Every structure is written in structure tokens, then in C-alpha cells.
Structure 1
């Protein structure tokens, strides 16, 4: 039995979609907080296990009879790290034979501007210390997040971000989910680390060029300074914590944190991951 946490989320759903294609549906389970919201998964043959990252007892119950657990990293909750720890502890108590985790492909944890990302490496350390055999998936920034960075009026106003000429090896979330599922379906669990990235890196200037070519509308990338960017977000009445988080992402991109390129994703997929030109039409509906 393979249990996928965050089963109704984007990456969890992508993993389940592929697992259902390559394994016996009776061996696939999804952790959900509300069964009613996961009826579509049940209809596909996914066993539903009810549990909450904040409720260790529910997690331990949900993991009974489970061989592998994929811990899909949580959001930006203040107690997010403790939630991860709860899942690890429950997996150990339930006798899970393999614990996998979706972390981040970042160059140097010690110099991250986005402090939220540090918890990924803290979670990895906790998993290692648990003694449970593990698989660590270090994922690059999803190409699917580009609309959130460039904004809804990208074709009218272009792209203005404090990311300099920083580059990212963007990859599609669906392909990462597919690759994770392929690895989980393998019987091995030998403390491996997979770095899932696209086959090439792209700057926001490259994103602008690709959008221009695909839409036949001119899109220009203009690097701006961090204070001007923060002021723009303040003018949109965004909470300070959100502004800091977005700014941290972009500062890390500028500093090369997302520029890692690995062949692991291609190897797990059995093909070259989608390029920027191939992925953007679906993301932006072009």
C-alpha cells in the first residue's frame, strides 16, 4: 500500500493519477481531511484514509497497513514544520517501511532569502534522524507558478520583477507528479535523493520572449529593484508576510538558488521534460 498525503492538492493529485496507471488501484491510498471532498478519488479506486497533519493519532491510524508514505510538504502555516514532524513520527510508530518527501531543489540552504524554504531541509534532517528508510524528492520551482509571478496583465504590462537575470530550471508539476509516482512504484527504498528539474534554465527575459512568440503579442521583461517591487505589492494591500515570501522567492532566483539542472526527472520520466515553449501554451491557455 502506498499512501499519498495531500491527496486533493495539485502535486498529490498528479502523483495519484500516475500511480493509478501503473499500479493496482487497490494498493493506492490518499490521505484526506474530508472524505466528502475526495469523492472523485474514491470513484477512481483510491482508498481514502482520513487524517490531519496536526493530529498525530489520526495520522498513525491512517498509516496502518501502509508500506510507503509520500509526505507532500504543507503550506506556509506557522506550525508547518511541526506538521511535517508529526507525519514523520506517525510513520515511524506505524511501522512504515519507506517515507518519501517532496522538498525543494535549491543551491544553498544557508543563504536562502525565503526563510520558508529552510523548513524543507529541516524536514529532511528529521526524516534521516528518524531511522525510517527514505526517498527525498527535491523539486525545482513549478513552471505552473509563472502566472502568479508575472501577474494577470502580463500581455498588457509585461513583466517587472526584482529577479535580475536569475535563471530557473522550470518543470511542469504534472511531470514531476508522474516521475514521483514512477519512483514510488519501484520496490526500492534505499535512502535515495532525486533532484527533479527541467533540462534547461530560463530567465524571466526568456519567459517574456517565449510568451511573445507564442501569443504574437510583445512581452518585455524589465528587472526592477526590490523596494519598488515591495511598494507595488503594498499598494495592492497584500499582507506583509506574503510580500516577504514573494520577495524571498524572487531574491533567491536572482541569486541563482533555482538554477540547478539535473537529469533525474528525465530519467524517471523516460523522456525529456517539457521545455518552456512546450509548457507555457497550456499554463497560459495560448
Structure 2
């Protein structure tokens, strides 16, 4: 049986959607904090396990009878690493065969500006040392985040970000979920690491060009200093920690941390991942 954590989130839902297309629901379980939010999965026959990354006792119970756990990384909580370790510890105690973890595809973890990303690699190391079988899904930045970076008025104001000429091999979250599910259903033994990226890396100049082509309106990208973006975010009342993380993301993009291109996603999907232009049309409803 496969247990999918974070099953009511975007990525977890995408994984379960594909799993249900390819295997019987009695082989699937969903870990959720609030069962009321998982009624759609329950109705389709998925076993619902109630638990939280912060509650080891609930995790111990949720792991019973599970063969494979998909640990979807948590949010930005200060104790995020401990939460991941709690899941891995519970899996080991319950005799789970393998744990798959959704990590990040970054070029050089030792030189990251966004310190929040470091915990992904700390989690990887903890899992590798646990003695459990493991699968590491190192995922690139979701293409779905582009509207968050560009803002709701991008077609009128253009893109102004401190990302330089840096590139990202964006991929759609839904396609990553589909690929993860496909890999989980394979019966290959051993430990594996997959880098799930798009087939091409794009700068924000490329994003602006795609928006221009899709909308018919001229959209330009302007590279600005980090201090300019930080000041704009403060004016909008954005919390300091959110500003720091956003600047960290964009600094890493500027340094090409997200520019890795791998064939792994295309192989797991069995088709070429959605490119930037088609992705922009979907995400911006153009």
C-alpha cells in the first residue's frame, strides 16, 4: 500500500489523481490533518489516515500496513526538518519498505541564498542514513509559481524582478505529480534519485516574451535591484520573513540554481513536458 502525505495539497492531489487511474483504491492511503477535507478521496475508496508531521503518535498509527510512503515536503515552519524526521522515524518503526521524498533540483546546495531550501538536503541525508529504501524526487521550481512572481497586473506593468539573466527549467506541478505517481508504481528495486525539470530553461525575458505572444500585449522584463523589490513588498505590508524568502528565491534564480535540465521528467511522463508558452496560456488563462 502507498501512503501519500499532504494528500489535500496541490502536489499530493496530483499524485493521487494519477495513482487512482493506474491502481485500485484499496492499495492507496492518504495522510491528512483534517478528514473533512479528504471526503473526495474517501468517496473514491482511498484509505484515510489522520495525522500530522508534528504528532509522532499519529504518524505511528498512520504507517501501519504501509509499504511505500510519499513524504511531500512541508512548508516553512521553523521545525520543518524535525517534522520530516518524524515521518521518516515513524516509517522505520512501522517496517515501511521505502520512503520517497519531494526534494528540490538545485545546482549547488552549498551556495544557496534561500536558506529554507537547505532543509531539503538535510532531509535527504537523514533518509539515506535511516536504512530505509528511498526515492528522491528533486523537483524544479513549479511553473505554477510564475503568476506569484510576476503579479496580477503583469500584462499592464510588465515584470520587474531582481533575477538578472538567470534561467529556470520550469515544469507544471500537475505533470510532476503524474510523474511521481508513475515512478511509485514501478517495481524496480534499489534506491533512486530523479531530477524532475522541464526540457528547457527560461529567463524572465523568455517569460515576458511568452506573455507577449499569448496575450497580444507587449510585456517587458526589467531587472531591478533586490532592494527595490523589497521596498515595494514592504509598502504592500508583506511580512519581513516573506520578503526575505522571495528575495532568496530570486537570487538563486539569478545565479542559475534552478537552470538544471534533466530528461527524467520526460521519461517518467512518457512525453515531453509542457513548455513555457503553453504553460503560460494555462496559468494566466490566455
Bin of the TM-score, shorter chain as denominator length: over 0.9
Show the counterpart of 2:179: 179
Higher mean displacement: 118-127 or 221-230: 221-230
Show the counterpart of 2:112: 112
Determine the C-alpha separation between the residues in 1 that align with 2:74 and 2:25.
25
Secondary structure of 1:78's counterpart equals: coil
Determine the C-alpha separation between the residues in 1 that align with 2:209 and 2:189.
42
Show the counterpart of 2:233: 233
**Matching of residue 15 in structure 1 with residue 45 in structure 2:** no
- Structure 1: gaps of 5 or more residues: none
1:282, distance to aligned residue in structure 2 (A) = 1.2
Determine the C-alpha separation between the residues in 1 that align with 2:257 and 2:166.
8
Q: 1:254-273 to 2 correspondence within 5 Å?
A: 254-273=254-273
Post-superposition Cα deviations, 1:141-193, rounded to whole Å, max 9, x if no partner, equal 00001000000110110000000000000000000000000000112241100
Q: 1:95-134 to 2 correspondence within 5 Å?
A: 95-134=95-134
Secondary structure of 1:194's counterpart equals: strand
Secondary structure of 2:238's counterpart equals: coil
Show the counterpart of 1:27: 27
**Matching of residue 166 in structure 1 with residue 166 in structure 2:** yes
The alignment yields a C-alpha RMSD, in angstroms, of 0.6
Show the counterpart of 2:279: 279
Determine the C-alpha separation between the residues in 2 that align with 1:35 and 1:229.
40
Post-superposition Cα deviations, 1:8-54, rounded to whole Å, max 9, x if no partner, equal 00000000000000111110110001111110111122111111000
Show the counterpart of 1:215: 215
TM-score normalised to the size of structure 2?
0.99
Aligned partners of 1:135 and 1:189 also within 8 Å: no
Aligned partners of 1:170 and 1:197 also within 8 Å: yes
Higher mean displacement: 125-134 or 42-51: 42-51
Show the counterpart of 1:70: 70
- Structure 2: gaps of 5 or more residues: none
Aligned partners of 1:107 and 1:258 also within 8 Å: yes
Determine the C-alpha separation between the residues in 1 that align with 2:88 and 2:211.
42
Determine the C-alpha separation between the residues in 2 that align with 1:90 and 1:69.
10
Show the counterpart of 1:144: 144
Determine the C-alpha separation between the residues in 2 that align with 1:97 and 1:153.
48
1:246, distance to aligned residue in structure 2 (A) = 0.3
1:83, distance to aligned residue in structure 2 (A) = 0.4
Secondary structure of 1:30's counterpart equals: strand
Query: What is the total number of aligned residue pairs between the two structures?
Result: 286
Post-superposition Cα deviations, 1:70-120, rounded to whole Å, max 9, x if no partner, equal 000000011111100100000000100010000000001110000000000
Shift in CA distance, 189/241, structure 1 to aligned 2, threshold 3 Å: farther
User: Structure 1 residue runs of 4+, over 4 Å off?
Assistant: none
